[in-house]
Amino acid sequence: MTMAEWALLVLLGALSLASALGLLLSRNAVYAALFLVLNFSVGAVIYLLFNAPFLAVTQVAVYAGAIMVLFVFVIMLLGAERLAPAENPPGLAYQRPLAIILAVALLAVAAWALLSGAQIEPSPSVAPRPDSSPQAMGMWLFGPYLLPLQVVALLLLAAMVGALVLSRKS
């Protein structure tokens, strides 16, 4: 990676973490949704840096586009943008400190696993750079991954029918 790519990657990482923290701490559901849109868009740029242009476009179209529009639509439909101030529910006073301790433990274990794993597998100096254009991805999706693709299509249909049934006025 060149120096400029490194600088971009560090900047994107900082933006990604900041927007995730914004989602965690925001007091307004619409702001939280917009922080998540920013996070997904930053993720799309990281995908571009890592030789995944098809996924970058899919990320913007499906995640930052369709999914987050659905979120914002539901937030505004329900009028649920104002969130109650964070407070422990009665009888669960230990939950917040416990959650923070568990999160720190998870982060520590992940960091330890990554650090010790890096010594086992040295990075290949020259990794092959496969063709990851949309055409090549299509050959993969309709070649070796044809069956999962069909299953996922069926799943999407089932989810669509399920959403219709659930939101129908009874």
Partner 1 sequence: MDATSFVTFLSAALFVIGALGVLLRRSALLIFMSVELMLNAANLAFVTFAHRWGQLDGQVTVFFIMTIAAAEVAVGLALIVTIFRTKRSTSVDELAQLRG
Per CB under 8 A, contacts with partner 1 among 123-152 are: 123-124, 127-130, 132, 136-137, 140-141, 145, 148-149, 152
Alpha helices in 79-145 (DSSP H): 95-120, 134-141
Residue 87 makes CB contacts below 8 A (sequence gap 6+) with none
Q: 5, 91, 105, 104: which is closest to 45 by C-alpha? A: 5
Closest CB 6 distance from partner 1, rounded Å: 7
For residue 130, the minimal CB distance to partner 1 (Å) is 5
Distance CA 157, CA 92 (A): 39
How many residues form the binding site for partner 1 (CB under 8 A)? Answer: 81
- H helix or E strand, kind and range, residue 13: helix 3-25
Shortest Cβ distance from residue 14 to partner 1 (Å)?
Answer: 9
Under rule CB under 8 A, residue 34 binds partner 1? no
Instruction: Classify residue 19 by burial, with Cβ atoms within 10 Å: 0-12, 13-18, 19+.
Output: buried
CB of 79 to partner 1, least distance (A): 9
Contact 91, 40 (CB under 8 A): no
Task: Identify which of residues 93 and 148 has a Cβ nearer to partner 1 in the complex.
Answer: 148
Restricting to residues 51-110, which ones interact with partner 1 according to CB under 8 A? 51-52, 54-55, 58-59, 62-63, 66-67, 70-71, 74-75, 77-78, 80, 83-84, 86, 89, 95-96, 99-100, 102-103, 106-107, 110
